[in-house]
A and B are shown apart, each in its own frame.
Chain A
Amino acid sequence: MTDTTEAEPQALPGDGLREGLVDELRRRLGEALVATELRPNDDLWVRIDTASWREAGEALAAMGFEYFCYLSAIDWMPSPYGRGEDDPTEPPPERTTEVVQGVTGGATRFQLLARVTDTRRHVGITLKSDVPDDDPTMPSWSAVYAGANWHERETHEMFGIGFAGHPDLRNMYLPTEFEGYPLRKDFPLLARMVKPWPGIVDVEPMPADEAVPTESPDVEHAETDSTAVAAAAAAEPDTSEPGDAST
């Protein structure tokens, strides 16, 4: 890939640089640039129209974003299993099923997520694009960024999103006979389904203190701010409903 005149290195990354990038992208992509979000001196998000995903990659590559960082996807549907902390003996609680997209909005359950970087101007862009709900297939980037090949395989395996034009969408991680798409929110973690999450059980007494009633770890460690947080990391019972200690 060669330098284009638009990709003249600038001294410092800043607002002007990122605003210029948005303008440049809009000039190249026109209507296909659906939404942008710019946090000054921090980061830049753009949402690309589904059909122009590949063109967006080509445009960015031509603008000097030669470094391919990653490509993945997000499933915006809230998990029907919550955080997997339900007691299997109880009926599952009511959960919202409303799909709410994040930064730069969107209209579909799945969104592609990718990031490319310009190593000379030290600036990166996070790209998003809606994946059609009825036919989750996107144009492949593997001809634009060679590194996207494996990332698309991974995304295909984890989310079940197809990539038109990808040379080889075999499974990357899991055995071929594996069923389901693990990173979809409705993929259950069976180990959490069949037995109660250990966190809902209160802290077990140490073997020697069997006779002593169990103390809450909050009381034991909450002397200073820092140790309190340490305790929060070490023991999790406060993050869940206190459950039956005998389970």
Chain B
Amino acid sequence: MTDLSERQQLSYIAGQAADARLNVELETEGMTLNIGPQHPATHGTLRIIVRLDGEQVVWAEPSCGYMHRGYEKLTEVRTYPQVTTLVNRIDWLGSFANEVPFILAAEKLMEIEAPPRAQWIRTILFELSRIANISLFLGDLGVQLGAVTPAFFAFRDREHVLNLIESVTGGRFHPNFDRIGGLKDDLPKGFVDETRRVMRKMRTYCDEIDDLLIGNEIFQARTRGVGIIPKDVALQYGLSGANLRASGVDWDLRRDQVVPMAWDDVDFKVWTHPDGDSFARCWVRLQETREATKIVDQLLDGLPAGPVMAKVPRIIKVPAGEAWVSTENPLGEMGYYVVSKGDLGPFRVKIRSASFNNISVAPWVLRGVYVPDVITILASLYFILGDIDR
């Protein structure tokens, strides 16, 4: 492996050189390539316009908005319980995780806290949605590199996790299960044993992906040293989650902030990787999935008894005030800035979604790379369109 900064410099120089060549009219004429908005290799409807010199990208610009559904405006005309239904659908692979920070923000304003059992179940479901989310990412990663098999593995094993979520919430992936003050319901009978079994299965799946994909020579050749994002750039663009940790920043909101969830009570490792390239991002995600299965196992061991719902008024009015709560969602930091005026619904909700920041680095990181790498870099940044456009 070449040194990180050296590689970064090289790609920078390559980008500059490509730019210069375009200006000098001796070279071939540049070409503008449009990828998307409907393209099987993008997770949804992202459109990317790249300017090419030969095979090399001199300029790239993601064009968002094909999935802009106006969440922030719609929250202003919804009541608090209705907002949960909406925000479920932002990051549609990890739906339950989207509800949690909003509910926590509303609870913070109301100065109530969910009972311990509810907090634990919330954390379990949160981690289950992380596993469901990232396991699909790992499978999809192969498809983007031309290996179709991992996707079938992913869809096969993800079903087990979805079954678990469905057994608790009744929804495969838009649970709408979180309530202000707790949860709608308790865990069903047999959930604990079944979850343990599935967690073992998911660890096997991670091993399979490790063998099949991450350890694959072709995969490594195509991702190592490609799309390097150094630490300071990652921070400046507000990259979060695995993308930030893959650039060597040891920061995980589960560990590094105090929220009324059960992460403080379990033991887990925050994985980081110093390289900051596409491989590091994929590798960190794989490790995180493993870690999440262990978190779930630990939470099942210590599940406290008691009610799952605090005393809350029949009709929820949130006192006037402002609160910011963010959590470490599968894609990164997801936060809500909730402004209340004491009404039935929020006055303003700023939704800080992880993918918007994560993909905003694309124009920077895509400069100077080759066309096939565009797809792998975007895949490794891992975005979900609902999470970019909101």
Contacts and interface: CB of A to CB of B under 8 A. Distances in A.
Given A69-B326, A115-B352, 10 more contacts: A45-B322, A66-B232, A67-B235, A68-B235, A70-B238, A70-B357, A75-B348, A119-B256, A147-B357, A222-B314
B315 A239 contact: yes
Instruction: Rank and list the top 4 A-B pairs by shortest CB-CB distance, nearest first.
Output: A233-B81, A173-B65, A226-B309, A173-B68
A35 interface: no
A174 B320 CA distance: 32
A129 interface: no
Contacts of A227: 184
B149 interface: no
Given A84-B77, A182-B73, A228 B314 contact: yes
B237 interface: yes
Given A122-B256, A192-B77, A228-B314, A150 B236 contact: no
22 contacts: A1-B235, A67-B235, A67-B238, A68-B237, A75-B348, A100-B341, A102-B322, A103-B322, A119-B256, A146-B237, A147-B357, A171-B65, A174-B65, A183-B73, A222-B314, A226-B185, A229-B312, A229-B314, A230-B184, A230-B185, A233-B84, A233-B179
Interface of B: 64-65, 68, 70, 72-73, 76-77, 79, 81-82, 84-85, 176, 179-185, 232-233, 235-238, 240, 249, 251, 256-258, 307-309, 311-312, 314-316, 320-324, 326, 333, 335, 337, 339, 341, 343-345, 348, 350, 352, 356-357, 360-361, 364, 389
A40 to B, nearest CB: 12
Contacts of B179: 226, 229-230, 233
Contacts of A172: 64-65
Contact of A174 (B68, B257, B364): B68
Interface size class, chain A: 35 or more
Contact of A146 (B76, B233, B356): B233
A67 B332 CA distance: 13
A147 B76 contact: no
Contacts of B85: 233
Contacts of B345: 83
Nearest to A72: B350
A137 interface: no
A77 to B, nearest CB: 11
B76 A79 contact: yes
Contacts of B258: 41
A62 to B, nearest CB: 13
A149 B238 CA distance: 11
A145 B64 CA distance: 21
A158 B74 CA distance: 13
Contacts of A225: 309, 311-312
A124 to B, nearest CB: 8
A56 to B, nearest CB: 16
B81 A229 contact: yes
Contacts of B307: 226
A1 B236 contact: yes
A206 B320 CA distance: 38
A200 interface: no
Contacts of A222: 314
